[in-house]
């Protein structure tokens, strides 16, 4: 299993230690400050050890993205929530205001979100996403991340339509719109200091209710 970036678990082998070091170095210094030496220092290994596991920096970064893909799928997308409409709202909440998926009880009460002092694991993807403008390998991985979010939203929307809790809509088209709006909020939250996204979150929920709910 890939290293769990969300829980800061101790790596079980050298390869995982290096991937975790990439994650921490990205959060602290961004992509521009990321070098093999910086990663080696973070992992407390030699550069030779890194090159034993990875051919070069690009090979390492692509492996890191693959590991992040599996973690995003497990931690941020596959939510253990019964109501599909709740899953839609929680995923929007996850991107807009940076909370890890809260627990929703059988009484439909929302549990606590992420501690405001905790770093959002998705910050590591901000700088990497910019590299996708010019690099097709990065673009492929980032595109797969986007597609995972959209596919899950489309599945939730289709399920809600089938249950009769929302009106008849095109699941794929609606999912793309909802995800794109939430992703815009995600980037604003990550790249500005004064974004009041709590009000945006409320309006997003209102739009979902007005557009989808019967």
Domain boundary among 31, 49, 78: 78
More confident residue, 173 or 108: 173
Backbone angles phi, psi at 110, to 5 degrees: -80, 130
State which residues form the domain around 110: 79-214
Backbone angles phi, psi at 111, to 5 degrees: -80, 180
Distance CA 174, CA 176 (A): 5
pLDDT band, residue 87 (cuts 50/70/90): confident
pLDDT of res. 38: 96
Q: How many domains does the chain have?
A: 2
Same domain, 58 and 140: no
Rounded to an integer, the average pLDDT of 187-193 is: 82
pLDDT tens-place string over residues 95-143: 887 764 444 444 444 444 444 334 566 777 888 888 889 999 999 989 9
| Percent share of the chain, pLDDT over 70 | 79
Domain boundary among 14, 47, 78: 78
Rounded to an integer, the average pLDDT of 161-189 is: 89
Rounded to an integer, the average pLDDT of 44-73 is: 91
Same domain, 106 and 184: yes
Same domain, 61 and 88: no
Same domain, 125 and 44: no
pLDDT tens-place string over residues 142-159: 999 899 889 989 999 999
Same domain, 83 and 176: yes
More confident residue, 42 or 127: 42
Same domain, 62 and 6: yes
Cα dist. 66→156, 170, 185 in Å?
24, 30, 24
Same domain, 145 and 210: yes
Which range, of 2-11, 13-22, 66-75, averages the lowest pLDDT? 2-11
Same domain, 208 and 111: yes
Same domain, 45 and 139: no
pLDDT of res. 74: 67
Exposed, middle or buried: residue 46 (CB in 10 Å: 0-12, 13-18, 19+)?
exposed
Q: Could you tell me the CATH number of the domain that includes residue 28?
A: 1.10.357.10
């Amino acid at each position: 299993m890939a290293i769990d970036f969300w829980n800061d678990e101790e790596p079980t082998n050298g390869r995982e230690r290096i991937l975790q070091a990439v994650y921490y170095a990205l959060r602290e210094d961004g992509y521009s400050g990321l070098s093999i030496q910086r990663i080696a220092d973070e992992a407390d290994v030699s550069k030779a050890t890194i090159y034993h596991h990875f051919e070069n920096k690009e090979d390492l970064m692509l492996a890191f993205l693959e590991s992040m893909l599996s973690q995003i799928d497990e931690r941020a997308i596959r939510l253990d929530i019964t109501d599909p409409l709740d899953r839609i709202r929680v995923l929007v909440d996850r991107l807009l205001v940076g909370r890890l998926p809260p627990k929703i009880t059988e009484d439909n009460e929302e549990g606590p979100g992420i501690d405001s002092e905790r770093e959002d694991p998705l910050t590591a993807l901000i700088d990497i996403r910019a590299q996708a403008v010019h690099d097709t390998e990065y673009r492929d991985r980032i595109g797969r991340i986007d597609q995972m979010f959209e596919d899950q939203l489309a599945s939730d929307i289709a399920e809600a339509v089938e249950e009769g809790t929302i009106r008849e809509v095109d699941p794929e088209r609606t999912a793309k719109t909802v995800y794109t709006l939430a992703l815009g909020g995600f980037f604003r939250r990550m790249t500005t200091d004064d974004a009041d996204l709590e009000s945006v979150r409320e309006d997003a929920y209102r739009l979902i209710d007005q557009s989808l709910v019967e």
